[in-house]
Structure 1
Amino acid sequence: MSEGSDSVDGGGAAFLRAAIDRARRQKALAEAAMAQLDWSRIRRRLDEHTNSIAVIAKHLAGNLRSRWTNFMTSDGEKLGRDRDQEFVDDFPDREAMLATWEDGWRRMLDTLAALTPADLTKPVFIRGVEHTVAEAIVRSIEHNGYHIGQIVILARHWAGNDWKTLTIAPGGSAEYNRRHWGRSGRR
């Protein structure tokens, strides 16, 4: 995707670049949150009706694996997917969880990188419902954001006073704005 193609393709190349960037940022945010916890806290649940970070990561990876495997040629809800099993924490260790996590994200990012602006209006199916490729991308990024927010809030809760802020620290907006404002040339 070349940046000069945006005027020719109606912004499709810019959309794909933004989708890849957003997905990478989502993944990095969740990983930075999980990195602040030991394995026992990643597996801890608030109560019997909530999921642990490990389970959320497993579900998100399962969703990504299903949606982004053979993205253009098969329904995004794969016949072999056992969604209910995604909510069972059966990881032997952190490394197994992270391997599952990486596999899901790799499938999404590799597929996004292979798409062209011309693909964005083509049809794909998720649970038998037709979507454009662009709609399916937005849907996936939205789903990721929902669960990554859960991961971050749980990590923040379990880290307690040891939590290291992942965004602008409370009370730090003025300093952040002072350092970064104007880089875009707008105000």
Structure 2
Amino acid sequence: MNLGQLYLDSTKKQFRAYKKLGDNTFTQLSEEELNRIPAADSNSIAIIVKHMHGNLLSRFTNFLTEDGEKPWRQREEEFNPGQHLSKNELLQLWEEGWNCLFNTLDQLEPDDLVKTVTIRTEPHSALDAINRQLAHHASHVGQIVYLGKLYRQTNWQSLSIPRGGTASFNEKMAGKS
């Protein structure tokens, strides 16, 4: 396996891990919580998902051949707080955006990583554009998880090592070796 393929496989693994964090957050939240705006001038989870959806479709549709900021994207509409989404609608947007990303990544070859792609007419290597999106979407998934934990408080099911559970987790992991 060459370094380019190793990078693509690693990147897909990281994106899948972040998607799973979001998936596991959504299962714990109600439709009301998904649409709750926690403070003035902030975003609900639904707004964050709409933004991620628009960003993923725009960046990864025709990734190697078209500018990553598509003329059909309505970025400002993604942040419209007046649109209530059902949980099903939100999950459809979530899946559609991630499917676009994974379908594109699955079609890339290691040699594609050095090709030039543009985002808002600015040139980037495909590798750099992927890294940029990994960081962008990791930050948004972190916002989603944080809001979920904030809303659920003591009813939150930890998505990682629960507080006070490090020793038990380490013992469990040591037993797997």
Band the TM-score falls in, shorter-chain normalisation: over 0.9
The answer for the alignment partner of 1:108 in structure 2 is 101
Which of 75, 87, 93 matches 1:94? 87
- Give the deviation of 1:92 after TM superposition: 4.2
The answer for the alignment partner of 2:126 in structure 1 is 133
How does the TM-score come out when normalised to structure 1? 0.90
The answer for the alignment partner of 2:111 in structure 1 is 118
Return the letter of the residue paired with 2:132: R
Which of 39, 44, 47 matches 2:36? 44
The answer for the alignment partner of 1:179 in structure 2 is 172
The answer for the alignment partner of 1:57 in structure 2 is 49
- Give the deviation of 1:91 after TM superposition: 4.3
The answer for the alignment partner of 2:136 in structure 1 is 143
Q: Distance in 2 between matches of 1:178 and 1:66?
A: 44
- Give the deviation of 1:181 after TM superposition: 3.6
Q: Distance in 1 between matches of 2:65 and 2:86?
A: 34
Q: Which runs of 4+ in 1 moved over 4 A?
A: none
The answer for the alignment partner of 2:145 in structure 1 is 152
Return the letter of the residue paired with 1:37: L
How does the TM-score come out when normalised to structure 2? 0.95
Residue segments in structure 1 that go unaligned for 5+ positions in a row: none
Render the CA deviation track for 1:86-137: whole Å, top value 9, x for unaligned: 0124244111111111111100001001101111111000011111111011
8 Å CA contact 2:47, 2:79 repeated in 1: yes
Q: Distance in 1 between matches of 2:80 and 2:174?
A: 45
Which of 9, 18, 37 matches 2:10? 18
The answer for the alignment partner of 2:22 in structure 1 is 30
Q: Distance in 1 between matches of 2:35 and 2:58?
A: 23
Give the total of aligned pairs.
176
Residue segments in structure 2 that go unaligned for 5+ positions in a row: none
Return the letter of the residue paired with 1:129: E
Render the CA deviation track for 1:20-74: whole Å, top value 9, x for unaligned: 1111111110111121111001111111211000110110111001000010100
